[in-house]
């Protein structure tokens, strides 16, 4: 997995509440059998007009935000479907940090698997960051995962919480399947216990 350590970039404001994963990437783009190239489809229905041209009013189409690396998003960002195409599309576009007052659980989890840092932040700090984001390239934001700090353009610093395990995985770019396979003995032991304790539950076919 791609590492996430420190990120400095333009933050795009998208303060809309309940941005669901269908909005992040509509279902017609889920027919790919790969993970690549989904950045073009990010926020498709908001980003493009019915004739296929760019909607000039959408934040990521504005000259100031075309290179955004951070998204300042609204409450309950990523609600809805479990599609990992949502973080894939964000990453492919170049966004590797999303800051919001709250996230939907599955999307939040999926971000960490793709080198994207989702940051839950209190409403007051969020509003300050949103103000910064509105200033576009004049207001670069730095996100430092090691220090758990967001540094604003005016010298302001906000701290954030992150699960220690997920933090380590992101900082080191660890593949969590590798980590789990190191615990194969515990899985073997569990499976032995399972056969005796719940014999009816295994195997599925029979």
Residues of this chain that bind other proteins (CB under 8 A) = 15-18, 20, 22-23, 26-28, 30-35, 45, 50, 74-76, 79-84, 87, 102-106, 109-110, 113-114, 163-166, 175-177, 179-181, 183-184, 186-187, 190-191, 194, 197-206
Q: Which is nearer to other proteins, 66 or 183 (CB)?
A: 183
Considering the complex, state which of residue 44 and residue 151 has its C-beta at the smaller distance from other proteins. Answer: 44
- Residue 97: how many other CB atoms lie within 10 Å: 24
Q: What angle do CA 168, 173, 177 make, to 5 degrees?
A: 90
Beta partners for 71? 12, 98
Residue closer to other proteins, measured from CB, 63 or 177: 177
Q: How far is the CB of 47 from other proteins (least distance, A)?
A: 12
* Minimum CB distance to other proteins, residue 41 (Å): 12
Tell me whether residue 10 or residue 160 sits nearer to other proteins (CB atom). Answer: 160
Q: Are 182 and 174 in contact (CB under 8 A)?
A: no
Q: Which residues, 6 or more positions from 21, have their beta carbon under 8 angstroms from its beta carbon?
A: 78, 79, 80, 81, 82, 83, 85, 86, 107
| For other proteins, the closer CB: 12 or 114 | 114
CA-to-CA distance for 131 and 141, rounded, in angstroms?
12
Minimum distance of other proteins from residue 21's CB (angstroms): 9
DSSP-derived 3-state class of residue 88: helix
CB of 154 to other proteins, least distance (A): 25
Nearest distance in Å: CB 59, other proteins? 15
| Residue carrying the six token digits 């969020």 | 126
């Amino acid at each position: 997995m791609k590492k996430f350590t420190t990120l400095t970039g333009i933050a795009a404001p998208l303060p809309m509440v309940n941005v669901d994963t269908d909005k992040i990437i509509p279902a017609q783009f889920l027919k790919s059998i790969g993970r690549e190239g989904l950045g073009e489809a990010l926020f498709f229905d908001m980003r493009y007009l019915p004739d296929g041209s760019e909607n000039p009013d959408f934040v990521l189409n504005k000259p100031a935000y075309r290179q955004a690396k951070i998204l300042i998003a609204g409450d309950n960002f990523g609600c809805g479907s479990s599609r990992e195409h949502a973080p894939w599309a964000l990453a492919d576009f170049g966004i590797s940090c999303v800051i919001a007052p709250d996230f939907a659980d599955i999307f939040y989890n999926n971000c960490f698997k793709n080198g994207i840092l989702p940051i839950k932040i209190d409403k007051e700090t969020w509003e300050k960051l949103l103000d910064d984001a509105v200033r576009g390239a004049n207001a670069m934001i730095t996100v430092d995962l090691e220090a758990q700090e967001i540094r604003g353009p005016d010298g302001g610093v906000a701290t954030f919480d992150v699960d220690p395990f997920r933090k380590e995985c992101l900082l080191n770019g660890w593949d969590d399947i590798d980590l789990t396979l190191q615990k194969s003995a515990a899985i073997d032991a569990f499976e032995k216990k399972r056969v005796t304790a719940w014999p009816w539950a295994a195997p599925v076919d029979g």
